[in-house]
A and B are shown apart, each in its own frame.
Chain A
């Protein structure tokens, strides 16, 4: 579309305008609106007042979303920068809608806490400022749905949108094996496939929870928060009082949610051999088994089941708990922190550094050590039968340094707010990995322990964790550009004024 047509469309309103960001926001609002309407309908007989408020906000969101979808179109070749801006602004708008819902229903009394709860929801971080059992059914369902939408937004970003526009860059998980992007032949088809797989996984989890003896309300909420690796629950004690069957279901689905959607797509297509042969899947499974073994050996009075649950919860960055693991020994906590920081597989609903990146970093380090002995040798880094290019490794290390830097800045700001040094490091890493709980918040993720300032500090970290670090950095760059624009315009106006 030409620039003239674009402008004309914008002015007259007859031709759809070309804006990926606004289209993404419209899509996000439509999704959250429909989910909110469903929550309001289901919870109407539990609490009519809350349902009406949620229905009103959700209807508005759907209305704005549908209007936006008609008004805006996507460019044929959307640049990476526009996609980054789109996902960051969508996330921010959804967080505002969520916070408005909590405030309007009276579920949360102050703005800070409402923003934090909403951000934790849409970032799939298992930190909360509310007593889940005190929430009405529609609000509890809406809260669970925020995590479900957050997981979906994360998947769209890392599986569908970014790999299509940023080919050849390791920051974007590309799955494993050759022609891994077959799942996403086009943005539209890829989006539909991911949505269907995610929905099917959620329904399967919901049914499994019901079969395990969970109440309908709990099954629905837990299905949404397990598959999205969110970790919200409708009880104050997470899974501590859940039965063995429910714990087993949670363990299985947390593990599945930590698997790459590319690999899951092979499984759906019946290519079991390729699925089981995925090197990243093997490493992911090995990490889980190693941590489970370590916990069983190093921690007294922890059963294999509880150790496995804790290991899977950490590796998939979900944040559900069956034991108070913050009371574990320092060694066990250190191992858990490494697992949380490493996170799940690339292109999964989980977050963290991602298994594929951690593995490539290890291979890269090994190559650099070898290079010391043979400085002129050409030593490649191979993964999954493919050679990883130097450009990709460059970007991987550059990205990794930014990731470390973000954790360090988050931890420093928390320390500045008065949190102890180790607690600050833990909290920053845990939130940026979208896990959530840390020794300062306890295993159940009580965010009130962080204080209002601590909560605000962690919100940008949640964005970075959920949608990769790039949208956050892009948002900062846009803010800086906006600041420069404001300064420039102010000077110009001053000159005109004189």
Chain B
């Protein structure tokens, strides 16, 4: 259970105390994260330099600006107190600032400089693409994939890789002096109800998570290199966005570009593994036997995937007139891609079999369900998560049973374990907040000109860090044509809100407001 929940006020271990340094955990973590992001820009710059060489200067200049900002913040601050409000401020503001700096290469490189889009539109698109990258969403505003160079596209993939595991988790791994407060930061950023203390030191847990993440990335990239079709560049690029369940691809037709069953199988395996709780991976690595199957959420995750895949295959085959083999191929790929919130598409062209925006309404309804649920807690996936769904369903059934037997004492169980009432309450609170955000988002998006189908699916897609939506924003469409500029800004905000599961973004103003109030009073 998270230490954050205990509410104890702690002070971080102060190893770098000097008289001139400002005490601020938020600025310190932010500085570290910006420095890490600049490294991604440098990698993109070198790839660009060795290939298309169109966006080289944009990437290097962006890297320099980001690095200077990062190192200045990091060097001039030291971690202060790590109270709940500081945790939310650190995580929330870090993601907002990183998204802003992450948009620099796109703006400087003119990635969105196409006819019909003015400067403000380009900036909005750059922010949208950056938010989509760092939140591992995968929605794109790119209308012409020939404009950005290979390095820029690789940088775009790297942003997802950072976002998948979390830039703050990375900071915690690198900043052991954050001490016990690091777990709070890790929990606030990790998808799902909470991160467990799996190792004695939090930084060790963070390092374990990142090393598992790197291992999977290498495995997927290697598999794609071995399989005929993708180049080394493609293999690495898709390795980044598969394990992060981001879903960006350097190709407009995503995985459909390769039109290869072998590639799709490798990608499906990568997505499946990334949709599993990373704590289970850590347990398995540490030698725990039966780590996966003993977990109730894992079993439900697999059951959900199999059930939805069978339903969709049946609908496509019986109702959609698809061939059996085609139904199985597109059905399984899209179910896994959307349940893990990766959002890859395997349509070879607009209107192809994999273009789920053109599927039957019932199949789309199942996909929308997967948009909402997502995969396991503490995985790189988005959505409300399978475990929450299990607990909330059990909670709902209990309420109905209690309406028949008002005095009965009925426990809500997850697996064999009774779930504590405060945990149920928190999960129910999360669900209600989720519903409120979905409703308000749909109203906002439709108010600024979004179509009903696009707005409903895009809001859920953004909150679940899914990527594609339905209608014009489907797997072969793009968000520039489907939404107006204000609409894309709303979606950018929703991607970050969804990635951090509401609370850090909602509460990131709490610490600055408290500090300001204390200073004034």
Contact = CB atoms under 8 A, between A and B. Distances in A.
A401 B84 contact: no
Given A365-B432, A421-B453, A402 B404 contact: no
A330 interface: yes
Contact of A375 (B6, B362, B456, B502): B6
A470 B402 CA distance: 11
Contacts of B399: 171, 394-395, 397-399, 402
Contacts of B435: 404
Given A80-B406, A330-B446, A365-B432, A372 B507 contact: yes
Contact of A365 (B5, B392, B429, B455): B429
Interface in A351-392: 361-362, 364-365, 367-369, 371-377, 390
Interface residues on A, range: 35 or more
B396 A375 contact: no
Interface of A: 79-81, 84, 166-169, 171, 298, 329-331, 333-335, 338, 361-362, 364-365, 367-369, 371-377, 390, 393-395, 397-402, 404-405, 408, 411-412, 415-416, 418-422, 424-425, 470, 473-474, 477
Given A369-B507, A397-B432, A398-B399, A166 B392 contact: no
A126 to B, nearest CB: 21
23 contacts: A81-B405, A84-B403, A166-B406, A167-B406, A331-B447, A333-B452, A365-B436, A371-B426, A373-B85, A373-B510, A375-B4, A375-B6, A377-B7, A393-B425, A394-B424, A395-B402, A400-B432, A401-B393, A402-B399, A415-B360, A421-B361, A421-B470, A425-B456
Given A368-B430, A397-B395, A330 B365 contact: no
Given A364-B432, A415-B362, A421-B364, A405 B403 contact: no
A81 B404 CA distance: 5
A427 to B, nearest CB: 12
Given A365-B436, A374-B84, A397-B431, A166 B507 contact: no
Contact of B400 (A398, A411, A415, A421): A398
A394 B428 contact: yes
A418 B433 contact: no
A168 B405 CA distance: 12
Contacts of A415: 360-362, 364-365
Contacts of A412: 362, 365-366, 369
Given A373-B510, A375-B5, A367 B446 contact: no
Nearest to A470: B403
Interface residues of B, number: 60
A422 B452 contact: yes
B506 interface: yes
B368 interface: yes
Contacts of B364: 415, 421
Nearest to A361: B432
Please provide the 5 A-B residue pairs with the shortest distance between their CB atoms, ordered closest to farther.
A398-B399, A368-B429, A331-B447, A375-B7, A415-B361
Given A331-B446, A365-B436, A394-B428, A402 B400 contact: yes
B483 to A, nearest CB: 12
Contact of B403 (A169, A408, A411): A169
A376 B404 contact: no
Contacts of A334: 442-443, 446-447, 452, 455
Contact of A330 (B85, B429, B452, B502): B452
A42 to B, nearest CB: 41
Nearest to B430: A368
B439 interface: yes
Contacts of B431: 397, 401
A405 B396 contact: yes
Given A373-B510, A395-B402, 10 more contacts: A80-B404, A171-B403, A331-B448, A365-B436, A368-B429, A372-B507, A394-B395, A412-B369, A415-B362, A421-B365
Contacts of A401: 392-393, 395-396, 428, 431
A106 to B, nearest CB: 35
A283 B397 CA distance: 30
Contacts of B403: 80, 84, 166, 169, 171, 395, 399, 470
Given A362-B436, A365-B433, A402 B361 contact: no
If over half of B's interface residues share one DSSP class (helix, strand or loop), that class is named, otherwise mixed; here it is helix
Given A375-B84, A390-B425, A398-B396, A338 B443 contact: yes
B398 interface: yes
Nearest to A365: B432
Contacts of A168: 406
Contacts of B503: 369, 372
Residue among B84, B449, B452, B453 having the largest count of chain A Cβ atoms under 10 Å: B452
Given A330-B446, A368-B429, A404-B435, A411 B365 contact: yes
B181 to A, nearest CB: 14
A397 B403 CA distance: 13
A71 to B, nearest CB: 26
Contacts of B84: 372-375
Interface in B395-431: 395-400, 402-406, 421, 424-426, 428-431
Interface string B377-401: 0000000000000001101111110
B162 interface: no
Nearest to B85: A373
A20 B6 CA distance: 50
A84 B402 CA distance: 13
B229 interface: no
Contacts of B436: 362, 365
Contacts of B4: 375
B491 to A, nearest CB: 15
Contacts of B404: 79-81, 84, 474, 477
Interface in B436-487: 436, 439, 442-443, 446-453, 455-456, 470
B128 interface: no
B93 interface: no
Given A369-B503, A395-B402, A399-B399, A333 B443 contact: no
Interface string B166-197: 00000000000000000000000000000000
A473 B448 CA distance: 39
B446 A371 contact: no
B134 interface: no
B507 A373 contact: yes
B446 A369 contact: no
A364 B427 CA distance: 12
B455 A330 contact: yes
B361 A418 contact: yes
Contacts of B88: 372-373
